[in-house]
Amino acid sequence: VDNIAGLSSHDMLNMQMSYFKKALQSAISNDYTKVTFIHGVGNGVLKSAIIKELDDYEGIENRMASISKFGVGAIDILIKDK
């Protein structure tokens, strides 16, 4: 998206979650064992949405990503063997 002017918070969250789902599916399809998603620091809406979405997946765990590497605005997704 080149310009987010005029997009509601809801629309922006939907776009971010759509990207998250595509990236996660790609990681699963390509046999990744870990992928880090940057959700940023804010009021936790995106992070909460990501964690809720992960409930729909079996064999997936999440944990806070390395604070020294990413600060507090990232989450590691651990993908177990299929």
Rounded distance between C-alpha atoms, residue 38 and residue 31, angstroms: 20
Closest CA to 77 of 55, 16, 45, 12: 55
CB distance 61 to 78 below 8 Å:
yes
Domain edges within the chain = 31-82
Planar angle of CA 13, 59, 17, nearest 5 degrees: 10
Crossing angle of helices 45-54 and 9-29, in 10° steps, is 40
**pTM confidence score:** 0.87
CB distance 71 to 42 below 8 Å:
no
Give per-residue pLDDT as tens, 17-74.
Answer: 999 999 999 999 999 999 999 999 989 999 999 999 999 999 999 999 999 999 999 9
Distance of CA 47 to the CA centre of its chain: 7
Mean pLDDT of 8-19: 94
Q: Say what the pLDDT of residue 74 is.
A: 98
